[in-house]
Amino acid sequence: MILHLFRSGQAETDRVEAFSDGVLAIVITLLVLEITPPSVADGNAELWRSLARLLPVIGAWVVSFLFVLVFWVSHHYLFASLAKVDRGVLWLNGLFLLFISFTPFPMALQARFPGTVPAAFLLSLAMLLTASSFGLLRWYASIHAGLLRPGIDQHSAWQAMRRSMLAPSLYLIGTLAAFVAPWVSLVIQVIVPLLFIVPHRIDNELGREP
C-alpha cells in the first residue's frame, strides 16, 4: 500500500526529477571545460597576461552557471508541486532539457567572440528557448493538465505562471537587441539570474513548502 503510493505518483515524479537533475548537473559542470589553459611559452608575466585575457570566458562561465542553477531551482519547486507526471510532462520536460543542454555551445561562442553580434544573439536565443520551454512546461503541468498536488490553489499557480513569463520576455528583448547593441543582451544575461536569486521576489513561489 505504501509501496503503491510511492509507485503510482511520487515515484514517477521522482524519476523524472532524477533524470532532469542528472542532465542539469552535467550541463552546469561541463561548462567549465570551455575554459582551457593558455598555451604560452614561458615566464610568469606572460602567463598572468594570458590568464587576464581569460576573464571574459570566466565571466561567461559564471553567467551560464547561474542561468542553469536558477532553472534547476525553479524546476525543483515546480516538480515539488506536482502530484504526478504524464507523457506530456515527459516530452515538454525533454524539450526543456534539449534547450538547456545546448547552453555550453553559445557560452563557448560568447567566450571566444565576446561582444560580437552572433555570439550575443545565439546565447540570448538559447536562453529564450530554455525559458520559454520551461514556461510551457509549467503551464502544461500546473494549469492545462491539472497535475498539481491537492492543496495548491489555482490562484498561486497562475501567479507563478505570470512570474514565469518575465524571463522569456527579457530574453526576447535580449535576442532582438543583439543586432543593435550586443551589450544590452549581455546586461540582460547577467541581470535575469540575479532577479531570481534576490529572495523577496519569488518568496512565495508555487511549490514552496507551506
Supply the minimum distance, in Å, between the C-beta of residue 132 and its own copies: 17
Is residue 191 within the footprint of its own copies (CB under 8 A)?
no
Member of 71, 97, 147, 168 binding its own copies (CB under 8 A): 97
Closer residue to its own copies (CB): 21 or 169: 21
Member of 11, 143, 184, 190 binding its own copies (CB under 8 A): 11
Member of 56, 94, 143, 169 binding its own copies (CB under 8 A): 94
Member of 109, 137, 141, 167 binding its own copies (CB under 8 A): 109
Member of 56, 59, 102, 176 binding its own copies (CB under 8 A): 102
Q: Which run of H or E residues covers position 148?
A: none
Closer residue to its own copies (CB): 72 or 139: 72
- Taking the C-alpha atoms of residue 188 and residue 63, their distance in angstroms, rounded to an integer, is 10
CB atoms within 10 A of CB 36: 10
SS3 percent helix, strand, coil of the chain, rounded to 5, is: 75, 0, 20
Supply the minimum distance, in Å, between the C-beta of residue 166 and its own copies: 18
CB 147, CB 89: distance < 8 Å: yes
Closer residue to its own copies (CB): 24 or 128: 24
- Taking the C-alpha atoms of residue 92 and residue 137, their distance in angstroms, rounded to an integer, is 6
Query: Residue 38 is placed in which grid cell?
Result: 593558455
Is residue 62 within the footprint of its own copies (CB under 8 A)?
yes
- Taking the C-alpha atoms of residue 125 and residue 176, their distance in angstroms, rounded to an integer, is 9
- Taking the C-alpha atoms of residue 107 and residue 120, their distance in angstroms, rounded to an integer, is 9
In three-state form (DSSP H/G/I as H, E/B as E, the rest C), the secondary structure along 5-48 is HHHHHHHHHHHHHHHHHHHHHHHHHHHHHHCCCCCCCCCHHHHH
Supply the minimum distance, in Å, between the C-beta of residue 51 and its own copies: 6
Supply the minimum distance, in Å, between the C-beta of residue 184 and its own copies: 16
- Specify the DSSP class assigned to residue 153: -
Question: Residue numbers of the site for its own copies (CB under 8 A)?
Answer: 2-3, 5-12, 15-19, 21-33, 35-37, 44, 47-48, 51, 61-62, 65-66, 69, 72-73, 76, 80, 84, 87-88, 90-91, 94, 97-98, 101-102, 104-105, 108-109, 112-113, 116-119, 122, 197, 199, 203, 209-210
